[in-house]
Structure 1
């Protein structure tokens, strides 16, 4: 009996060690202890299924990216006129728009005459004073918000105000305000008129010269 048990033990020791799970396949195969390591490797039946990684999105090629920048620039200009600075800022909002592609597009559009800050500032200032009387200071702030250089903005404003004196624009602004709210009868009402004209961008000295002509009702103070 002892001899039989010894024989069974010897046979068990000679039998190749079997892998209990897929994690043991590789180390056992390397040690040559699996019954058929090459077959397991080829079949891969005990390997866990793995999801294939999604293919990386191919980056935009340089030429298509330049074309996209130009098309976007044309769409922005078709919506409304823009200064060079504002157009550049809007184009650079897109991650795919490189600085080089943006500058190239702006250079081409400048050559076509579609981007010209001097003309943009002049047209903007002319339109504003015709639509609503405003002062130089207000126009200067608005053109700065439109990304127009200060020197260019001042030149355009001076050209527009040469044909539309600020004093006349101030008188128009006062008339429009009085038509809505009536003549100021107290210092408080006169102060509100002053604040309104100051927000419209007119100079303090011009406003005070005009408001001194108003006669207030002393009983309202």
Structure 2
């Protein structure tokens, strides 16, 4: 732009003539320090380069710390990254016995004996454990009879397990003998019919064997599934279509 004293400025070579009523535009340096908030364009570009995502990145804030949050009753607990479990300075287990018990029950239903074993192995005091188990029974979160009924229903109804197998499994879980007898006794009436159904499902796998070998294999299979020997013998004969004198006792 060429300025002459007393005359309007004439545009220089390569410049546009000024528009009346509009302030002349500056160069790149003027724009960077222009009136828009002290160089807004430059700062916005700088923020985009530094943050990578502009305003959205500023709103979202920094990334979360590298740790896993474990929810429990009474608030959250944190576990350091890498899966290491925090423990108290004196070597006592981290968290209360009540919190640990609730987390174990949230995974699956358990008997009193199963839950006791897990809490004791975690290092809780035996007296504290027994008190917690009593508390859970009072509020209905721990019920061996309810557990036994559900377990027997699944094993007998879905897997056609024999009553002996169900009783042994419940005893191993610490269920009282009286509860086991009551629960298992409810399935006594249809025991042989279930054994025959299970034997018929198994029999096609033994088709390549002779009658006596197939009979022995089938009786052994039913016995392992928890059926009484006498029930297993009768069910195997029925499933294989054998008369009583066509197969010897295994």
Q: Same fold per TM (> 0.5)? A: yes
* Residue of structure 2 in register with 1:75 after alignment: 103
8 A contact 2:162–2:227 mirrored in 1 = yes
Match for residue 181 of structure 2 among 154, 165, 169? 154
- Give the deviation of 1:208 after TM superposition: 1.8
Q: Of residues 113, 116, 134 in structure 2, which corresponds to 1:85?
A: 113
Q: Of residues 173, 184, 189 in structure 1, which corresponds to 2:214?
A: 189
Counterpart position of 2:135: 108
Contact 1:81 1:120 (8 Å CA) reproduced:
yes
- Which residue of 1 is the match for residue 159 of structure 2? 132
| TM score, norm. by length of structure 2 | 0.56
Distance 1:184 1:199 in 2: 20
Structure 1: tracts of 5 or more residues without a match = 1-55
Contact 1:122 1:160 (C-alpha < 8 Å) held by counterparts: no
For residues 86 and 152 of structure 1, the distance between their equivalents in structure 2, rounded to whole angstroms, comes to 16
Shift in Å at residue 184 of structure 1? Answer: 5.6
1:1-221 equivalence runs, <5 A:
57-58=89-90, 68-95=96-123, 97-162=124-189, 165-182=190-207, 185-213=210-238, 214-215=241-242
What is the CA distance between 1:176 and its match in structure 2? 1.4
Q: Deviations over 1:146-192 (max 9, x none)?
A: 11122211111112445xx1011111111211244438633122111
Q: CA separation in 1, counterparts of 2:208 and 2:161?
A: 20
Unaligned runs of 5+ residues in structure 2 are: 1-87
Distance in 1 between residues matched to 2:236 and 2:187, nearest whole Å: 25
**Contact 1:72 1:91 (C-alpha < 8 Å) held by counterparts:** yes
8 Å contact kept, 2:112–2:174: yes
Q: Which residue of 1 aligns with 2:59?
A: none
Alignment RMSD, CA only?
2.6
Separation in 1, partners of 2:91, 2:153 = 45
Provide TM-score, normalisation by structure 1: 0.63
Q: Which has the higher contact order (CA 8 A, sep 6+)?
A: 1
